[in-house]
């Protein structure tokens, strides 16, 4: 540092408009979400144009009701995927929760004990998987697959049959309707699911834990070197996911007033797909819960359209689901690519 | 720069660290006093970064003790280190590029009310902090939108803002240019005055002599000694680092290479006419001839990297015409450029250079193999031959071709990258910060190599934050400012650092009028 | 000591343990009968062929950092196409025609792989979603081809690929062996393996090194599709019918598991063909063992869970260190950092 | 107490006055099920009804979703084959509140409130299991040798699997000589039926009887038995459930000994019922499908007219 005088570069810093300032661009990070939302609305409007009674408010309300479980599970999954992990066990945790809840309630356990118990169990299972993943450096895929086998295995072991729930609290919740408008009412399950989304969004945006989730997803090594609590955070996201899955299971039992060891199977894939459709990157570090919410709604909307179509046999149902999904993703790509 | 009278804030004794197959540290002692800048010196792979990682608990030690403020401690990890008052910038920029600049500075210690992060405060304070380092950027943009040098500054900002008793800076200046380094030193001096102990690693001897009070030299994982900087002449320091007589290092002598004459009447290899890319670099004209070394000079973020990338097709140009050997080409893809004999080594070796899981051998032959296509594998014997040759030529250590490149020291990784491109025998070699993090000895070797290659007819586009290096090697220097090529100079008599800085400074009015 | 450190040591040890269990539970572990080998071991080898094939393709896909969920549906389509065509043959036992039909089915599967690969590499859709589309729609296609019914065929050359024997060994296993050999040669004797690992290890660095990642990615999905198609043929030949609903159902999960057990990381990069084969055989052996020792159906999943847990823990270096490391001498206890 | 929605249910869904029937199918998990779907679709066309068909892919939540969608679409009659027995009260109440009559097909629900649905048309899985067991008991009447039975179960946890196991176990309990020595799940599929049977053959010294919860698993098992050098139907007696065409063929060829029919052809009966409940006629709470059992001789006679 003997030759160069440092004055010239520092002089231009004081220029009125800083010439070095990077070109301002509109907030590009929200473009994917906005595009997804726009496409969802297009889908809805074309549903109204094509099908009788599609314009009923209950179509929208039911979208949230019917997908309450998926929504809650997807919220948990979003946390996991944001850290770059994956949780295959969620569907099985739903199975276990519904089976256990139904069995315990049938056995006369007090409902106010059963509820926290099953939620705790889900969270513990998640924490266990998280600990194995973090401390033993086991691939999330394989650790949570073992969790899947374990949870569903336990459920089947406890009871293979479909068990009705006749508990007062559960049936009351199940029958409860929350009026939204003149002819529209919704259920507590939908409210719980939406609250989960809001809480998760707030946690991710405004808390240290939330930001650590993103940091780990960006680069776990860097996060560690930056002195972030990687172990705690990583275990926590799997705990959140386990908790959400258990909560989803509880919502399931409320929705259907029954428990069954095969309930919720395949939910993991739906949840992962919803996250990804909503713009969450599987490699971690990018995405929003609201995106995941939109992903769930897209999924639900596809189902609704197929139900309204009503003349597809199983084969065509699958094909049309595939085509709609493809069309949606393709448009989403095109729109976001343009806008960037 | 007083002799430390107080007790050391940090003391490491008999530190030993063994990786499978390498003893990275072997009984190293190290002391750090409050209010001093202590330089850690050594060749690439000497063990500097390892010592730092041992200190901050990234690695468990295999032997020895660490005393912090006189107490023996076990530091479980970077989090514990930070809590114990040790703040670190690691060698490879270790930030989360998916987060914003502001967030990278404050993550883990965000100001909050009732648990809710106060984003406004964070953005404001981050901007202020960077301002103090003379950096004026949009702090709410993702870090990935900035060049490596800026990322390095952000990492520094983060480290110095954490109130710590020990600040560790592992090669923070490797891609900074003179003015940024000056800003950094200003901050370091202030910290020092506050009684903070600073551990500083750099391969620039000038910087060491400017800022450090004392220095510790490592060689091959062993402690050579602890010295007061002022009492150790530069020549002796180098001798201690490399363990050889300086005589073998004549390449270090400044201006040794620059009097070379360009072979006359060389035909142009590459011609750019009005090539540019919106948001990255304004349209520019540039011609590169056979056997010519063209240096790019400019300040941080002036667009050197962006220019180089366009010439390789790493980014697509959206205006202008490019011709190679007189024939127009569109560089859609690096592959196209490679087929025309262009090679490009990125400044960002961690994400755009090495492939960590692969071995040294595989990393070296990668580009050559890609050029041949997958159906024509390079015979293993040939691979071994080439790799061995370059391991020797570039002094890559450890000289084990089957070691995963991830486990090499930073400087050695850089050499691997260089080797990757050299073996493709390109006609135009574009190297962006090729000497980043490379020790004095190897740097001289590389410079010599570049000179030899250009004598042999290879054209080189040479990008470096170190202006002297550009001056020493180039036949022609293109000066950039604010993402605009403002002048082309033939490197001859009368061209020196001052002249170039002047060009850059005066360019201000020119660009102010045109942009 | 070095064997113990090998990633594949523990899966291999567990495989061996399961095989030993089978020696005791089965009437015949391996014997010569009707001029060919027979017994539980042979059943395992034969039964694992489809999974091996699918997992091989999956290994390549995963090595580039992708994933292929559509393999099960491709299996169903391939079997459906083959059975539909064979059923309409005048002479179902005509070897030439059956071979041609099998080639057609594999070509169809490869084309489906091309579709997947294009979505991933050219359109730029995340692999999991890109292949999910075909996973869902593909099964619908298969059902459409078979009209939702099981198509029976009576073609002995077709059945041979699943149940036949050649040189006393099951043909299905020989086909799997050939595929293993082919993939091994393709990846390790050419530079393909290196390029795959490089693309998976760092896509951006690979692009700048001049590797045509797109072309390679597409190719990998095509190979995966073709191998899944072949697996589908063996699956359907085994039951001499096309079952569009269950063929390959959930096999993607087993295949991914096999790949991961084999030491290939899901994020891409280094892959091991041998490891994958070991993983696939292990999964099949586990299936057979469950039946052999008569685990009650309701406990089957729990049993599998236990094996997978043991497996993933045993493969974890840190776990082994923490459990067995206590016996090693450790540096003196150091005090905690003062907070 | 849910509110009183349904002010305009009288108008029905169809604009053209056709009867609109919403049918939610379990899925397409077998050829049996596909035949069932086809029967319903054909019968609806024949009767001139508008059919809203929805496939639940074996998931209860999808079925609930479909039923709610039918309510929104204001169909005239809802019919569905429940995936599982319990958990329908809430959604059925919604249907009731909307004044849409519900018909259960194929599988029952265990709701305590029997007014939630008009009728249940379908077979009784427990009864099917019993029929299979009774036939077996009769075969070995008066013999004292132990009879080793192997059972191939359907998908673990699925209603038909549980009930067919239960019924069978009840029936054979009358003869202590008949013992189930192995019971494994073959997932209702041919391929798994085959692999599981291979394993069982390898690990079980003496097998007299095989009871498979559906034809497909039985057919897969036959392949395994033949590969092991034994004669199905002779060395090992085989009993299955369903009576799809392939099964009947094997039965007539002597490879299976007895099949309990579980008829998928509910379409015409369903349309008939739909019309009645729409008109407000009273119908029986439980209507059994016309079903029978087949021995080898009966199969030979019935095979030519077998459609599915
Ligand atoms: N994770 C690791 N695994 C194995 N070997 C390693 C690892 N990290 C470092 N090494 C080895 O330890 C030695 C010291 O490396 P270190 O990174 O400390 O060097 P350095 O002095 O920082 O060099 P440079 O100036 O190039 O940054 C090198 O030989 C390197 O190959
Ligand atoms: N104020 C700024 N100063 C510097 N770089 C900026 C600034 N704002 C944005 N950048 C980003 O930094 C990069 C600067 O371009 P480039 O990397 O080509 O410069 P360079 O001259 O090579 O500088 P460096 O020494 O930082 O590599 C661009 O990607 C640009 O988006
Ligand atoms: Mg270093
Ligand atoms: Mg640069």
Distance in Å, CA C267 to ligand 4 centroid: 29
* Residue pLDDT tens, chain D, 308 long: 333 333 333 334 444 578 999 999 988 777 788 888 889 999 999 999 999 999 888 888 899 999 999 999 999 999 999 888 888 888 999 899 999 999 998 888 888 888 889 998 887 889 999 999 999 999 998 888 899 999 999 888 888 888 899 999 999 999 999 999 999 999 888 999 999 999 999 888 899 999 999 999 999 999 999 988 899 999 999 999 988 888 999 999 999 999 998 888 889 989 999 999 998 888 888 887 777 889 988 888 888 877 77
Nearest to A271 by CA among A121, A142, A151, A93: A93
The residues facing B460 across adjacent strands are: B293, B429
Q: Which atom of ligand 2 is nearest to the CA of A22?
A: 8
- Judging contacts by C-beta atoms under 8 Å, the chain A residues touching residue C303 are 153
* pLDDT category of residue A15 using cuts at 50, 70 and 90: very low
Q: Is A87 within a domain?
A: yes
Measured CA to CA, the distance from residue D115 to residue D104 in angstroms comes to: 12
pLDDT on residue A271: 95
Taking residue B326's Cβ as centre, other Cβ atoms within 10 Å add up to 9
pLDDT on residue B265: 58
- Is the per-residue pLDDT at C339 higher than 70? no
- The alpha carbons of chain B give a radius of gyration, in whole angstroms, of 23
Measured CA to CA, the distance from residue C263 to residue C10 in angstroms comes to: 11
pLDDT on residue B473: 87
Q: Is A9 within a domain?
A: no
- Summarised one tens digit per residue, pLDDT across range B457-508 is 899 999 998 888 888 888 899 999 888 898 888 887 778 888 888 888 886 5
* pLDDT category of residue C27 using cuts at 50, 70 and 90: confident
Identify whether B398 is preceded by a cis peptide bond (ω within 30 of 0).
Answer: yes
CA nearest to D4 within chain A: A183
Say yes or no: C238 contacts chain D, CB-CB below 8 A: yes
pLDDT on residue B177: 84
Nearest to D27 by CA among D82, D103, D68: D82
Looking at all shown ligands, the one closest to residue B416's CA atom is 1
User: Does B145 sit within 8 Å of A22, measured CB to CB?
Assistant: yes
- The alpha carbons of chain D give a radius of gyration, in whole angstroms, of 21
Asked if A227 and B82 count as a contact pair (C-beta separation under 8 A), the reply is: yes
- Summarised one tens digit per residue, pLDDT across range B418-459 is 999 999 999 999 999 988 888 888 888 888 888 888 888 899
Best of B150, B157, B344, B432 for a ligand 2 pocket test (most atoms within 8 Å of beta carbon):
B150
- Is the per-residue pLDDT at C180 higher than 50? yes
pLDDT on residue C164: 87
Measured CA to CA, the distance from residue C84 to residue C153 in angstroms comes to: 8
pLDDT on residue A26: 47
pLDDT on residue A16: 36
Domains annotated for chain B, with CATH where assigned, are 10-243 (3.40.50.300), 246-341+427-515 (3.40.50.300), 351-425 (no CATH)
Looking at all shown ligands, the one closest to residue B218's CA atom is 1
CA nearest to B336 within chain C: C210
Best of B135, B146, B349 for a ligand 2 pocket test (most atoms within 8 Å of beta carbon):
B146
Q: Rounded to whole angstroms, what are the CA distances from B352 to B90, B309, B417, C203? A: 18, 12, 10, 8
- Residues with Cβ within 8 Å of residue B323, at least 6 apart in sequence: B270, B271, B273, B329
Measured CA to CA, the distance from residue C135 to residue C85 in angstroms comes to: 23
DSSP annotation string for B269-319 = EEEEEEEEETTTEEEEEEEEETT-EEEEEE-TTSSHHHHHHHHHTSS--SE
Q: Whose C-alpha lies nearest to ligand 1, atom 16?
A: B47
User: Does A262 sit within 8 Å of D84, measured CB to CB?
Assistant: yes
DSSP collapsed to 3 states, C57-116: HHHHHHHCCCCCCCHHHHHHHHHHHHHHHHHCCCCCCCHHHHHHHHHHHHHHHHHHHHHH
Q: What is the CATH number of the domain that holds A71?
A: 1.10.3470
- Summarised one tens digit per residue, pLDDT across range A124-173 is 999 999 999 999 989 898 899 999 999 999 999 999 888 999 899 999 99
pLDDT on residue C5: 67
Q: Whose C-alpha lies nearest to ligand 2, atom 11?
A: B146
Measured CA to CA, the distance from residue A213 to residue A210 in angstroms comes to: 5
| Percent of all residues in chain C with a pLDDT value above 90, rounded to a whole number | 61
pLDDT on residue C328: 47
CA distance C276 to chain B (A): 19
- Is the per-residue pLDDT at A234 higher than 90? yes
Distance of CA C47 to the CA centre of its chain: 12
Measured CA to CA, the distance from residue B415 to residue C276 in angstroms comes to: 35
Edge to edge, the sheet with strand B293-298 lists: B342-345, B428-432, B459-463, B293-298, B476-480, B485-490
Mean pLDDT for chain B overall: 87
Residue A103's domain comprises 28-339
* pLDDT category of residue A117 using cuts at 50, 70 and 90: very high
Look at chain A and report how many structural domains it folds into: 1
Q: Is A81 within a domain?
A: yes
* pLDDT category of residue B260 using cuts at 50, 70 and 90: low
- Is the per-residue pLDDT at A82 higher than 50? yes
Half-sphere CA count of D275, side-chain side, radius 13 A: 11
Distance in Å, CA B406 to ligand 1 centroid: 9
* pLDDT category of residue A12 using cuts at 50, 70 and 90: very low
Distance of CA C68 to the CA centre of its chain: 11
pLDDT on residue B256: 45
A262 CB burial (10 A radius; 0-12, 13-18, 19+): buried
Distance in Å, CA B342 to ligand 2 centroid: 23
According to DSSP, residue A316 is labeled H
- Write down the pTM of the prediction: 0.90
CA-CA-CA-CA dihedral for B85, B89, B91, B94, to nearest 10 = 110
The percent of chain B in helix, strand and coil, each rounded to the nearest 5, is 40, 25, 35
The residues facing B167 across adjacent strands are: B87, B198
The percent of chain D in helix, strand and coil, each rounded to the nearest 5, is 45, 20, 35
């Amino acid at each position: 540092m003997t030759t160069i005088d440092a004055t010239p570069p520092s002089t231009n810093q004081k220029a009125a408009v800083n010439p070095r300032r990077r070109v301002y661009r509109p907030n590009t990070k929200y473009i994917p979400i906005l595009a997804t939302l726009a496409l969802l609305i297009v889908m809805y409007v074309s549903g109204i144009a094509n099908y009788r009674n599609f314009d009923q408010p209950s179509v929208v309300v039911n979208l949230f009701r019917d997908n309450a479980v998926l929504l809650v599970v997807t919220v948990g999954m979003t946390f996991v995927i944001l850290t770059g992990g994956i949780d295959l066990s969620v569907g099985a945790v739903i199975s276990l929760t519904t089976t256990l809840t139904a069995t315990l309630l049938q056995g006369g356990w007090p409902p106010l004990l059963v509820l926290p118990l099953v939620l705790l169990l889900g969270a513990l299972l998640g924490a266990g998987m998280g600990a194995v993943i973090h401390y033993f450096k086991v691939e999330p895929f394989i650790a949570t697959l073992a969790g899947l086998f374990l949870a569903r295995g336990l459920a089947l072991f406890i009871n293979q049959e479909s068990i009705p729930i006749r508990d007062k609290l559960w049936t009351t919740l199940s029958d409860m309707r929350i009026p939204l408008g003149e002819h529209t009412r919704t259920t507590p399950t939908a409210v719980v699911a939406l609250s989960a989304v809001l809480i998760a969004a707030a946690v991710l945006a405004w808390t240290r834990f939330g930001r650590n989730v993103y940091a780990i997803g960006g680069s776990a090594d860097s996060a560690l070197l930056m002195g972030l609590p990687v172990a705690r955070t990583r275990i926590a996201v799997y705990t959140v996911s386990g908790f959400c899955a258990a909560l989803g299971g509880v919502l399931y039992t409320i929705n259907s007033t029954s428990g069954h060891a095969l309930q919720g199977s395949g939910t993991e894939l739906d949840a992962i797909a919803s996250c990804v459709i909503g713009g969450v990157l599987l490699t971690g570090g990018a995405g929003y819960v609201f995106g995941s919410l939109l992903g769930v709604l897209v999924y639900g909307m596809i189902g609704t359209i197929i139900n309204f179509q009503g003349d597809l046999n199983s084969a065509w149902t699958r094909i049309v689901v595939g085509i709609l999904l493809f069309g949606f993703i393709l448009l989403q790509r095109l729109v976001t690519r343009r806008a960037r | 720069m007083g002799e430390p009278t107080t007790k050391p804030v940090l003391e490491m004794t008999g530190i030993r660290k063994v990786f499978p197959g390498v003893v990275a540290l072997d009984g190293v002692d190290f002391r750090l006093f409050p209010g001093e800048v202590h330089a850690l010196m050594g060749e690439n792979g000497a063990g500097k970064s390892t010592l730092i990682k041992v200190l901050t608990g990234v690695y468990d030690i295999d032997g020895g003790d660490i005393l912090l403020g006189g107490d023996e401690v076990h530091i479980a990890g970077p989090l514990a280190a930070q809590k114990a008052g040790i703040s670190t910038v690691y060698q490879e920029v270790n930030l989360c590029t998916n987060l914003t600049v502001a967030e990278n500075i404050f993550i883990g210690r965000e100001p909050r009310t009732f648990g809710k992060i106060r984003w406004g405060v964070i953005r404001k304070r981050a901007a202020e902090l960077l301002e103090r380092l003379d950096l004026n950027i949009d702090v709410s943009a993702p870090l990935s939108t900035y060049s490596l040098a800026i990322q390095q500054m952000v990492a520094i900002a983060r480290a110095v803002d954490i109130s710590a008793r020990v600040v560790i800076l592992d090669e923070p200046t490797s891609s900074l240019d003179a003015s940024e380094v000056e800003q950094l030193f200003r901050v370091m001096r202030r910290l020092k005055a506050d009684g903070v102990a600073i551990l500083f690693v750099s391969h620039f001897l000038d910087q060491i002599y400017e800022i450090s009070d004392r220095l510790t030299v490592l060689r091959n994982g062993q402690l050579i000694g602890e010295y007061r900087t002022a009492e150790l002449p530069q020549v002796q320091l180098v001798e201690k680092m490399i363990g050889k007589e300086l005589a073998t290092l004549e390449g270090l002598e400044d201006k040794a290479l620059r009097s070379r004459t360009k072979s006359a009447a060389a035909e142009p290899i590459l011609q750019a006419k009005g090539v540019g890319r919106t948001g990255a670099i304004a349209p520019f004209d540039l011609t590169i001839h056979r056997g010519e070394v063209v240096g790019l000079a400019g300040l941080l973020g002036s667009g050197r990297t962006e220019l180089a990338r366009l010439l390789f097709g790493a980014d697509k140009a959206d205006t202008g015409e490019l011709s190679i050997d007189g024939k127009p080409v569109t560089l859609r893809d690096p592959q196209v450029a490679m087929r025309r004999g262009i090679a490009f080594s990125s400044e960002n070796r961690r994400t755009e250079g090495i492939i960590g899981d692969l071995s040294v051998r595989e990393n070296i032959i990668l580009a050559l193999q890609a050029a041949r296509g997958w159906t024509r594998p390079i015979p293993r014997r040939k691979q071994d031959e080439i790799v061995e040759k370059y391991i020797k030529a570039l002094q890559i250590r450890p000289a084990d071709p089957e070691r995963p490149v991830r486990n090499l020291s930073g400087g050695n990784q850089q050499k691997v990258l260089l080797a990757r491109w050299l073996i493709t025998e390109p006609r135009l070699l574009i190297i962006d910060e090729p000497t980043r993090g490379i020790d004095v000895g190897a740097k001289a070797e590389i410079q010599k190599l570049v000179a030899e290659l250009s004598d042999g007819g290879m054209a080189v586009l040479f990008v470096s934050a170190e202006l002297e290096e550009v001056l020493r090697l180039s036949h022609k220097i293109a000066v950039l400012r604010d993402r605009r090529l403002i002048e082309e100079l033939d490197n001859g008599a009368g061209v020196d650092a001052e002249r170039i800085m002047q060009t850059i400074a005066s360019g201000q009015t020119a660009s102010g009028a045109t942009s | 000591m070095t064997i113990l450190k090998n990633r594949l040591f523990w899966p291999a040890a567990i495989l061996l343990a399961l095989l030993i269990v089978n020696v005791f539970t089965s009437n015949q572990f391996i014997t010569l009968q009707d001029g060919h080998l027979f017994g539980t071991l042979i059943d395992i080898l034969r039964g694992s062929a489809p999974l091996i094939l699918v997992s091989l393709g999956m290994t390549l896909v995963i090595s580039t950092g992708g994933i292929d969920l559509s393999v099960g549906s491709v299996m169903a389509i391939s079997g459906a196409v083959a059975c539909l065509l064979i059923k309409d043959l005048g002479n179902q036992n005509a070897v030439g025609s059956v071979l041609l039909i099998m080639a057609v089915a594999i070509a169809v599967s490869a084309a489906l792989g091309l579709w997947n690969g294009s979505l991933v590499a050219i359109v730029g859709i995340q692999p999991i979603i890109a292949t999910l589309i075909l996973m869902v729609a593909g099964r619908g296609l298969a059902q459409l081809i078979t009209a939702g019914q099981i198509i029976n065929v009576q073609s002995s050359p077709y059945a041979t690929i699943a149940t036949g024997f050649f040189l006393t060994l099951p043909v299905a296993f020989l086909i799997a062996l050939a595929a293993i050999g082919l993939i091994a040669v393709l990846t390790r004797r050419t530079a393909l393996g290196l390029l795959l690992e490089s693309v998976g290890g760092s896509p951006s660095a690979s692009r700048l090194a001049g590797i045509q990642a797109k072309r390679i990615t597409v190719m990998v999905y095509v190979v995966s599709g073709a191998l899944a198609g072949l697996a589908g043929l063996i699956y359907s030949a085994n039951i001499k019918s096309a079952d569009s609903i269950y063929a390959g159902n959930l096999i993607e999960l087993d295949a991914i598991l096999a790949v991961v057990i084999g030491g290939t990381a899901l994020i891409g990069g280094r892959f091991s063909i041998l490891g994958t084969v070991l993983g696939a055989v292990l999964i099949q052996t586990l299936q057979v063992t469950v039946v052999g020792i008569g685990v009650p159906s309701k406990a089957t999943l729990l049993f599998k869970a236990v094996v997978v847990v043991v497996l993933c823990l045993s493969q974890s270096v840190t776990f082994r260190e923490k459990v067995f490391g206590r016996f090693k001498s450790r540096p003196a206890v150091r005090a905690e950092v003062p907070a | 107490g849910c509110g009183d929605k349904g002010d305009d249910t009288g108008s029905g869904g169809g604009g053209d006055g056709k009867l609109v029937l919403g049918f939610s199918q379990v899925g397409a998990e077998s050829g049996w099920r596909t035949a069932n779907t086809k029967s319903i679709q054909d019968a609806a066309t024949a009767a001139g009804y508008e059919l809203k068909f929805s496939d639940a892919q074996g998931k209860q939540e999808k079925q609930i979703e479909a039923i709610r969608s039918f309510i929104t679409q204001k169909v005239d009659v809802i019919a569905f084959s429940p995936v599982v027995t319990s958990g329908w009260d809430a959604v059925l109440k919604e249907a009731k509140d909307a004044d849409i009559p519900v018909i259960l097909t194929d599988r029952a629900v265990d709701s305590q409130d029997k007014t939630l649905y008009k009728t249940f048309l379908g077979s009784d899985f427990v009864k099917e299991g019993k029929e299979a067991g009774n036939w077996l008991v009769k075969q070995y009447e008066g013999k004292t040798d132990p009879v080793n039975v192997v059972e191939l179960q359907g998908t673990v946890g699925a209603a038909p699997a549980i009930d067919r196991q239960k019924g069978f176990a009840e029936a054979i309990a009358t003869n202590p000589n008949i013992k189930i020595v192995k019971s494994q799940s073959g997932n209702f599929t041919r391929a798994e039926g085959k692999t599981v049977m291979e394993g069982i053959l390898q690990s079980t010294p003496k097998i007299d009887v095989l009871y498979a919860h559906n034809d497909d698993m039985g057919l897969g098992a036959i392949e395994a038995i033949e590969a092991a050098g034994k004669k199905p139907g002779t060395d090992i007696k085989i009993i299955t459930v369903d009576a799809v065409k392939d099964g009947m063929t094997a039965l007539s060829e002597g490879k299976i000994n007895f099949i309990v029919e579980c008829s998928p052809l509910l379409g015409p009966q369903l349309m008939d019922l739909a019309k009645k409940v729409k008109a407000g006629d009273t119908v029986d709470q439980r209507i059994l499908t016309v079903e029978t059992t087949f021995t080898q001789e009966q199969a030979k006679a019935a095979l030519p007219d077998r459609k599915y």
